[in-house]
Amino acid sequence: MKNLVFTFVIVLVSQMGFAGELDSILSKARALTNNKDYTEAILVYENYIKVSKGENLKEVYIELANCYFYLGKKHEAVNNIKTAIVKHGFTEEDFIYNSVLNEKLSSYALSVLYDDYYKLRNKYLATLN
C-alpha cells in the first residue's frame, strides 16, 4: 500500500512539473507576441503545440494565426484557423466573439473559409462520435 501511495505521489508531482513547464512555454510565446517578436513567438507556439499533446489548443492556434497574420502570412494564418476548427471546435461564433482573434484576421479568414466552414466543422463533429 505504501508503494502505491508513493508511486501516486511521484506521478502527481511529475505531472505538476510538466504543467508548469507548459505554462512557462505559453507565457514566453505570449510575451514575445506582446513585444511584437512574431517570428520567435511562432517558434515557441509551435513548440508548445508539439509538447502539449494536442489538448485544449483552440486559443493557441488562434494566437499562432495572429502572429502569422501580423507578419503578412495570411495563408499560414488561415491554415491555423482551419486547424482550430477541425481539431478543436472553433465555431462561427468564435469568429465574431473571440477576444483573442485579431478583428481584421477574423474578417479575412471568415471570407476565405466561408464556403468550406461547414465541411470543416463537420470534420470536428465527426471526431466527437
Secondary structure (H, E, C), 50-107: HHCCCCCCHHHHHHHHHHHHHCCCHHHHHHHHHHHHHHHCCCHHHHHHCCCCCHHHHH
Say whether pLDDT at 98 is over 60.
yes
CATH of the domain at 28: 1.25.40.10
Is the pLDDT score of 14 beyond 50? Answer: no
Q: What is the pLDDT of residue 53?
A: 82
Helices (H) and strands (E) in the chain, counts: 7, 0
Residue 129 scores a pLDDT above 90 = no
Range of the domain at 76: 2-127
Distance CA 32, CA 114 (A): 31
- The number of folded domains in the chain is 1
- This prediction has a pTM of 0.83
Tens digit of pLDDT for each residue in 22-38? 999 999 999 999 999 99
Percentage of the chain modeled with pLDDT above 90: 80
Cβ–Cβ < 8 Å for 117, 92: yes
Residue 19 pLDDT level (bands cut at 50, 70, 90): low
The pLDDT, as a whole number, for residue 2 is 55
Residue 15 has pLDDT above 50, yes or no: no
**Which pLDDT score, from 0 to 100, does residue 56 have?**
84
